[in-house]
Chains A and B, each alone.
Chain A
Amino acid sequence: QHPVGEVTRKHMAVRNILPCYIFGGRIKVLSRNPDDYVRETKLDIQRVPRNYDPSLHPFEVPREYTRALNATKLERVFAKPFLASLDGHRDGVNCMAKHPKSLSTMLSGSCDGEVVWNLTKRECVRTLQAHEGFVRGMVVRFCGTSFFTVGDDKTIKQWKMETPSYGEEEEPLNTILGKSVFTSIDHHQKEGVFVTCGQQVDIWDEQRSSPIRSFSWGVDSFSCVRFNPVETELLASCASDRSIVLYDMREATPLKKVIMNMRSNTLCWNPMEAYNFTCSNEDYNLYTYDMRYLDKPFTVHMDHVSAVLDVDYSPTGKEFVSASFDKTIRIFPKDSGHSREVYHTKRMQHVISIKWSSDNKYILSASDEMNIRLWKANAAEKLGLLAPREKAAVNYSQKLKEKFQHHPQIRRISRHRHLPKSIYGQSKELRVMKEARRRKERNVRKHSKPGSMPVVTEKEKHVVTVVN
């Protein structure tokens, strides 16, 4: 198109790259529109024209498979969940509480007093002697301005969240003397009402010194009581007669209870699903129930090798974390029977209390040996802000892992976890026991009259009865 000799500036620019053909004195130059490949400013990303013709990009599955494999390997390489240990308690840590308004604040109650922590600095902000003896339970009021504690000294105390100014006494806002020991406390999501349990489940108004309602149903002690965060008038408690009891704050009587084979230690409601809750049981398992159908749990979560002491849901309601007497923490997807992750360290002893931070990023565990540990909820996740391209890469590798998750190599790598020898041995032993029991049952069934030995599913096995 261009007459010979007239070479535009554009062509000067591209001549270095493009081949020139000379035919009989005429110069033919391949011309391209520089708008297609020249970036507007220096800060722009280089434009890379792409040809998506599949024939130019063969072997997509093998290539993606390799990428997935690499991503899986890298994930395992970068899986370092342990972030920090908060030490300072001089006795085992018995309970913890999340701050509803501040991510960086956390409360912990030990067997001799209690402490407020600042997580970003990983340091103790404030220490106060709340109770004589154990601090059994603590909860922060929904507004975040004060918190409640219950202890072995049969008192409920309300404290200000602010640190008292210089010279001011460290004193509770309010103290209620009870008749018996309180074992757990929880606060209503929106109103000035809280609930305690001990010999009975009491519902208290913050303004009054006596409970506005008490529930007891043939049980002498409760270990845990929790408000439903969604349907805020509902409660559930774990009782020492191996039962889980449901209550409605507005009703005069409890609603229902289910009695299981062994005692449940704690329970936690799913914050995104109003009717689901999970309880941690003494029989090494966790059970997720639909409160409308208590006759059998809809998932049994197995993997722990000792009693499960505490459970907490992730704020997204998709997973929960459990703390066990076997010195490990496990993370379960809410509808999976087995854990996706297990955390342990050499020095961590029986984990008594566990919390999932309300930004879904961290897990806090409090254990016997006076330490609180901070973990990442996703072991291999990179913390902090990610550049958009970084984020895209993470998403892509995540998708690849998901896509190829069933391939044996990838599955094997992604599922591999290290376990301490003792726990490994125990789990193996448990497996053997379970298998033996199964085999025996099978044999008995084989040699008995058909129909006389009905098949009992794993879910049905653990529930004794449901009481109206």
Chain B
Amino acid sequence: MDDEDDEELQRALADDIISASEDEGGSDDERKHCKLLEAISSLGGKKRKKLTERSEASIQVSEFTVNAEGEGDKIHLSDLIGTLDKTPSALIKTKKQLKNLQHNQSTLETPLTRKETEKIQREVAFEKTSKEVSRWQSVVLQNQKAEQLVFPLNQEPSGPKRIEQVVAGWKAQTPLEQEIFSLLRMNKQPLHDPVLTPTEEASLRAMSLEEAKIRRAELQKTRVLQSYYEAKAKRGKRIKSKKYHRIQKKVMRKEYLKQFDEMVKTDPAAALEELKKMELSRMKERMSLKHQNSGKWAKSKAIMAKYDDGARKAMQKQLEVNKDLTQKLVIPADEDEEDEEESAETLPDFVNDVEPILDQVNPWMRGKLSTEPMMEESNRLHPPVWPREVGKPGEGRDDQEEDEEQMEETEEESLLRGFEERRKLRQTEDVKVAPMTMEENDGKVIDIVCHNVASGLCRLAGPGLGQGESPALLEEGLVRVRTLEDVELLSQDISASDTALLTTRDLGTEETDTQSATQQADKKRKKMIDPNEVLTKEAKVIEMPLAPTAVEDVEDKEEQRVIIKEAFAGDDVISDFLKDKRKQEEAGRPKVIDLTLPGWGEWGGLGLQPSRSKRKRFRVKVAPPPPRQDQKLPNIIIAEKRDSSIAAHQVCQLPFPFENPIQFERTIRSPVGRTWNTQNTVQKITAPKVVTQLGAIIEPIAREDLIKDIRQAVTGPSINLESDQGPQKKRRSQQKKKLELLMV
């Protein structure tokens, strides 16, 4: 019954709407409307609340059947609650809420105006889109920086394509083809798109091209290193010198001990095993008579020992070995540590000591030593050779001829130092002052040294020798001797290459030094020749803990000055420079122009000079030029002449992207053409920035590119076009000088 009613109602309503839309004002409609309302009311019965009839437009029309009747009437809360009578359950709650509402005095805020809401909407939308657009930033920047852009952007790679790509959708038709395919299928070979078998693909995926390249480079490097080491080892093996091997062995042992110490800390179990091994060797040694000077060799030596120093030493060494081997094991480790500490302490001494003296004494020297890594290396190579000569004083007591580090104990050192000082004071070679066991050899050495002192070059030799006893000082001495003194001292035991190097120094003059030195060192030296620098300026003095007395220092300096003077006796740089400057000034000075013509207005002929009055009249004096820029700078010549014919081709202002003229000059200096570069290099250098394909439509960059690009950025950077410019750089440096003229 109810359903039917509803349907009727709806139909009626629909009618009403339609009619209303057709024409609104008709009286016929009104009548119909009333009828409809009546029908509705009759249908609804008690369910539907009777609609209040509205004859005139009211101010507020509510959709909830509540309306104030006429003007000025207000709706009371009670009206609202009235409808709730029939639903008692929610009543109390609602009442409460309403009460609260009534108490609440504050009003709701009016909603924003349309204009303002739109503004907010716009702002939000803009933020969103600008964020979205900003994703392109990286792509745009990358394209800007790119060495070369090839358009259209995402071209398919040229070159041969896989056959599967070309003939898509092709089917095996002939029996032969079918047979082949069945075979392939049986063997699980890929048929369609993937040309590679799954295993191959997996291996490809495992390592990208870049990774593979890096790995290959690494492997190459290790291989090269390995070969180096092998070669080195081979060379070492081939050396016949027993001494060398002895030293080597000693070093190895020391290292081994060091390692052992470390092992004790890190891996006690392994260390224990090592210890056991050592113990075993000790036991063996104790059991045997190997190093106890009881063998045949030892006996023969014992006979010789009375007369031959070497034999005695050899025997002593044997005993020493025995002692070492039979010693309890804990002790040597301790000794070693001490040694290490000592060396650590002494090292800074050396650093402080030698360098400053060098600085003060000889700027040329300093330049070379500080700049040439080669020299340093050779220094490092030297110790095995050098200490034998100078370190011999200590030999008598222990047999360690070359290993300085093992040599020092503090007492000894102090002793030696005392000798040294005495020696220095006397400025003579007092052989007898050296420790009691000093031998003739040493005497010879010092003799030679002093001989050189006499030659005037090696003021340095004194302290060098004196410090020879302590290892750190030894190295110092070594450096000095090498550069300033004759190398006869050293040449005895130096390997062929070294001797070659050193014999050049033998001559003792700076000139030969410069010849042998590298270009760079050359440059430095040239700079150094600035007379002011060399002769008047005080060099920096570094603190020296073991500084010799002040008097000595002064003497040193004077001596050095003498040396320099001697070395440069021929060339007077300062006066040359001054002359040069004067000449330049002369050239810049305006000359009086003589316009007199002989024979005009008077007699002319052989032997006849124009009259003085005439000459005076036609002589034109030119206004003096502005003062020279280098007028007040005594050490500089500033060339003021500018070649106007070249000036037209010269850049007078530094162009924009460059920050300094050097940068710019460098770019200009490197040639681009085929005459100077190989084909590949030229291709790389001259590659145009933008490449377009003839007749290809260039589409705007697409979103897919962005995604691809981001992926690429994650995996790794793109490959740069100009990756290797090695040869070019070389050439640049070579040709630097040639082009300076043009590029000013």
Chain A residues packing against B (C-beta within 8 Å): 52, 54, 57-65, 67, 100-101, 103, 189, 229-231, 234, 246, 248, 251-256, 271-275, 291-292, 315-318, 358-361, 385, 392, 395-396, 398-400, 403-404, 406-409, 468
* Residue numbers in B under 8 Å from A58 (CB-CB): 738
The A-contacting residues of B in range 634-650, CB under 8 angstroms, are 648-650
Binds A, one of B59-67, B214-222, B349-357, B696-704: B696-704
Q: How far is the CA of A291 from the CA of B690 in the complex (A)?
A: 26
Jot down 29 A-B pairs with beta carbons below 8 A, ordered by A: A60-B671, A60-B676, A61-B743, A67-B673, A231-B136, A234-B133, A248-B129, A251-B129, A254-B122, A255-B122, A256-B122, A271-B700, A272-B140, A272-B700, A273-B143, A274-B133, A291-B130, A292-B134, A315-B698, A317-B701, A359-B693, A359-B698, A395-B688, A396-B672, A400-B672, A403-B667, A403-B672, A468-B122, A468-B123
Q: Indicate if the CB atoms of A272 and B143 lie closer than 8 Å.
A: yes
Closest to B131 in A: A292
Task: Give the contacts of B104-136 with A (CB-CB under 8 A).
Answer: 118-119, 121-123, 125-126, 128-130, 132-134, 136
Given A52-B676, A54-B731, A359:B667 Cβ within 8 A: no
**Contact stretch, chosen from B22-30, B511-519, B569-577, B677-685:** B677-685
- Report if B687 contacts A (CB, 8 A): yes
State which size class the interface on B falls in: 35 or more
Of A64, A406, A409, which one neighbours B673 at CB under 8 angstroms? A64
Instruction: Check A318 against B698 for contact (C-beta < 8 Å).
Output: no
Q: Which of A54, A272, A408, A468 contacts B650 (CB 8 A)?
A: A408
Which residues of chain A have C-beta atoms less than 8 A from B151's C-beta?
315-316, 360
Query: Among the listed B669, B674, B698, which residue makes an inter-chain contact with A360, where contact means beta carbons less than 8 Å apart?
Result: B698
**Partner pick for A248 among B125, B136, B651, B742, CB 8 A cutoff:** B125
Q: Which residues of B contact A396 (CB under 8 A)?
A: 672-674, 682, 686
Q: A60-B675, A64-B671, A396-B686 are in contact. Are A230 and B701 (CB under 8 A)?
A: yes
Nearest CB of B to A226, in Å: 12
In the assembly, what is the distance between CA of A291 and CA of B133, in Å?
A: 9
Asked if B692 is at the interface of the complex by the 8 Å CB criterion, the answer is yes
Which residue on chain B has the smallest CB distance to residue A257?
Answer: B122
Asked if A252 and B676 sit within 8 Å, CB to CB, the answer is no
Interfacial chain A residues near B738, Cβ < 8 Å: 58-59
Q: How far is the CB of B224 from chain A (nearest CB, A)?
A: 26
Which residues on A sit within 8 Å (CB–CB) of B122? Answer: 253-256, 468
Question: Which chain B residues lie closer than 8 Å to A407 at the CB level?
Answer: 649-651
A273 and B123 within 8 A (CB): no
- Select which of A229, A254, A316 is within 8 A of B690 by beta carbon: A316
- Looking at the assembled complex, report how far the CB atom of B143 sits from the nearest CB atom of chain A, in whole angstroms: 6
- A396 vs B683: C-alpha distance when bound (angstroms): 9
B716 at the interface (CB under 8 A from A): no
Establish whether residues B743 and A103, one from each chain, have CB atoms under 8 Å apart when the complex forms: no
Collect the chain B residues with CB atoms within 8 Å of residue A62's CB. Answer: 742
Measured between beta carbons, the chain A residues less than 8 angstroms from B694 are 359, 361, 385
Q: What residues of B have a CB within 8 angstroms of the CB of A292 in the complex?
A: 130, 133-134
B652: interface (CB < 8 Å): yes
> Are B678's CB and A403's CB within 8 A?
no
Contacts of A230 in B (CB 8 A): 136, 700-703
- Give Cα distance in the complex from A64 to B675, angstroms: 10
B695, CB-defined interface residue at 8 Å: yes
The 5 closest A-B pairs by CB, nearest first: A271-B700, A315-B698, A229-B700, A60-B671, A274-B136
Q: B698–A316 contact, CB under 8 A? A: yes
Cβ of A100: which chain B residues have Cβ within 8 Å of it?
697
Which residues of A lie under 8 Å from residue B119 when comparing CB positions? 468
A407-B665 Cα distance, complex, nearest whole Å: 12
Task: Known A-B contacts: A60-B739, A251-B129, A316-B692. Give 12 more (CB < 8 A).
Answer: A60-B673, A61-B668, A103-B697, A231-B133, A234-B133, A316-B149, A358-B698, A361-B692, A396-B686, A399-B685, A406-B664, A408-B651
In the complex, which residue of chain B has the Cβ closest to the Cβ of A313?
A: B700
Q: Which residue of A lies closest to B120 (CB)?
A: A468
CA distance A252 to B119 in the complex (A): 12
Tell me which residues across on chain B come within 8 A of A52, comparing CB atoms: 676-678
Residues on A with C-beta less than 8 A from B650 are 407-408
Given A103-B697, A275-B134, A406-B655, also A253-B673 (CB < 8 A): no
Q: With A254-B122, A407-B650 in contact, is A61–B739 under 8 Å at CB?
A: yes
Interface centre among A61, A251, A403 (most CB of B within 10 A): A61
Q: A358-B698, A408-B649, A468-B122 are in contact. Are A61 and B677 (CB under 8 A)?
A: no
The distance from the CB of A243 to the nearest CB of chain B, in whole angstroms, is: 14
With both chains docked as a complex, state the minimum distance between the C-beta of B117 and any C-beta of chain A, in angstroms.
Answer: 9
Q: Which residues of A contact B130 (CB under 8 A)?
A: 275, 291-292
Inter-chain contact A65/B136, CB cutoff 8 Å: no
Chain B, residue nearest A65 (CB): B649
| Residue B266 is within 8 A (CB to CB) of chain A in the complex | no
- A399 engages B686 (CB within 8 Å): yes
B734 within 8 Å of A (CB atoms): yes
* Cα of A65 to Cα of B128 in the assembled complex, Å: 53
* Residue of B with least CB distance to A252: B121
What mask results when residues 708 to 744 of chain B are scored 1 for a CB within 8 Å of chain A, else 0? Answer: 0000000000000000000000010011001100110
A316-B149, A396-B673 given; A256·B700 CB < 8 A = no
Chain B residue nearest in CB terms to A104: B695
